Amino acid sequence: MSHHPLLDLPPLTADEFAATERRIAALLRTDNDVVITQGEALLPLEGAIRGAARPGSTALNVVTGPYGRGFGDWLRDAGAKVVELAVPSDRAVTADQVAEALERNPGIELVSLVHAEAATGISNPVAGIGPVVRAHGALLMLDAVASVAAEPLLTDAWGVDLCVVGAQKAMGGPAGVSAVAVGERAWRRLADNPAAPRHSYLSLLDWKERWIDTGRRALPHAPARLEMLALAACLDRIEEEGLDAVIARHRGAAARTREGALDLGLTPYVTDARDAAPVATTVRTPQGIHAGELAASALVADPGAPITAGTGPSAADMLRVDHYGPAADPAVVDRALAALGAALKR
Ligand SMILES: *Cc1c(COP(=O)(O)O)cnc(C)c1O
């Protein structure tokens, strides 16, 4: 058998796995347990929701984009009554709106929220929402897949009980592993929920019992070796550049895109720049022009430009420029703007 560098790797040790978990915890500013789930981020998102939503309980699902809509389905499927707080896709939810929803429905035990929405280009103010949820006594499950490394993510300071991240967006890493930081209150909720997944790919409790509570000495299953290597490499790169610099690079790309779009005569979709996400910028297409057509035309001008048409309810008039990971770079932004300019001229 011939040697292959991707195939003939030494096994990943428990110590190495635990060390990568600690590096993720540092990135998330948390002292909570971190589990590196061996699948794309939808795995810990579904695991967290199905674990935390007791049958018969009430959950508040904040819908500011496509992922929130999916969370509602999981919550209902887990037997929870779902109160939906839907927000138009041109703005973020406010802490006051969350507080009002909690006041109207005192029985709410769980709040699911997306931090940054790559699909709509908004970022929700978790710093203000976290304390409101904590004061109500509910758990907060946050999808921070698109915000981690693009903007501050202060898991413990904000009171996030279940914080889910993936490496494929601003971290510039692999999509095949993900992570969730689980706080003490969340572990208790999961343990008390008779319907929480157990002996299942979705089970966070399995990881607690078989990995964390046994001192992280032996991995319960063969880890995704290549993805774990890529995750460690992307953490190396973030630590080398410095998290603050990575965040500043994303902020800079977002500001440059917004300004450039305005210069092209385009209207930013997200009205208030303070609501805009650092991972993606959305713009309104001019009257009478379909977003799909404009995106296709821009991609003819430059097939490599990170431009896509919107999805869901805003598919017709929303165009999106992605600027995360290696694309959070002024040169990439300028390329996208040039392609958009060429498409508009046509
Ligand atoms: C990208 C992303 C995910 C991960 O989902 P994929 O569609 O599989 O990439 C989850 N949540 C949010 C908010 C994301 O932006």
Domains, the chain, in order of start with CATH, read: 14-239 (3.40.640.10), 243-345 (3.90.1150.10)
Q: What is the pTM of this model?
A: 0.97
Given a contact cutoff of 8 angstroms between Cβ atoms, the answer to whether 343 and 283 are in contact is no
pLDDT of the residue at 195: 97
* 279 vs 171: CA distance, rounded Å: 11
Q: 63 in ligand 1 pocket by Cβ < 6 Å?
A: no
The residue type of 211 is: W
Give the Å distances, CA to CA, from 123 to 117, 143, 253, 281.
Answer: 6, 11, 15, 11
Note whether 337 and 313 are within 8 A (CB).
Answer: no
| Cα 177 to Cα 160: distance, rounded to the nearest angstrom | 21
Positions of the chain with pLDDT under 50: none
- pLDDT value of residue 313: 79
Q: Provide the pLDDT for residue 310.
A: 86
Residue 1: predicted pLDDT: 87
Check residue 72 and give its pLDDT.
97
User: Could you tell me the distance, in angstroms and rounded to a whole number, from the CA of residue 314 to the centre of ligand 1?
Assistant: 18
Q: Annotate 222-285 with DSSP letters as a single string.
A: ---HHHHHHHHHHHHHHHHH-HHHHHHHHHHHHHHHHHHHHHTTPEESSSSGGGB-SSEEEEEP
Angle 299-303-306 (CA atoms, 0-180°, nearest 5)? 75
Where does residue 288 fall: left (phi above 0), alpha (psi -120 to 50 degrees), or beta otherwise?
A: left
Residue 303 CB neighbour total at 10 angstroms: 8
Query: From residue 148, how far is each of 51, 238, 246, 280 by CA, in Å?
Result: 23, 11, 10, 13
H/E stretch holding 47 reads helix 42-52
- The CB of 53 under 6 Å from ligand 1? The reply is no
* 145 C-alpha to ligand 1 centroid (Å): 6
Instruction: Find where tokens 């929701």 sit.
Output: 49
Q: How many CA atoms lie within 13 A of 338 on its CB side?
A: 11
14 lines ligand 1 (CB under 6 A): no
Confidence at residue 26, expressed as pLDDT on a 0 to 100 scale: 98
Residue 117 Cα: closest atom of ligand 1: 13
pLDDT tens digit string along 166-216?
999 999 999 999 999 999 999 999 999 999 999 999 999 999 999 999 999
User: How far away, in angstroms, is 198 Cα from ligand 1 center?
Assistant: 24
**Please, are residues 121 and 269 in contact by the beta-carbon 8 Å criterion?**
yes
Which of 124, 168, 320 to probe ligand 1 with, by most ligand atoms within 8 A of CB?
A: 168
42 lines ligand 1 (CB under 6 A): yes
Instruction: Measure 70 CA to ligand 1 centroid, in angstroms.
Output: 11
Helix (H, G, I), strand (E, B) or coil at 86: strand
Q: Please state whether 79 falls in left (phi above 0), alpha (psi between -120 and 50) or beta.
A: left
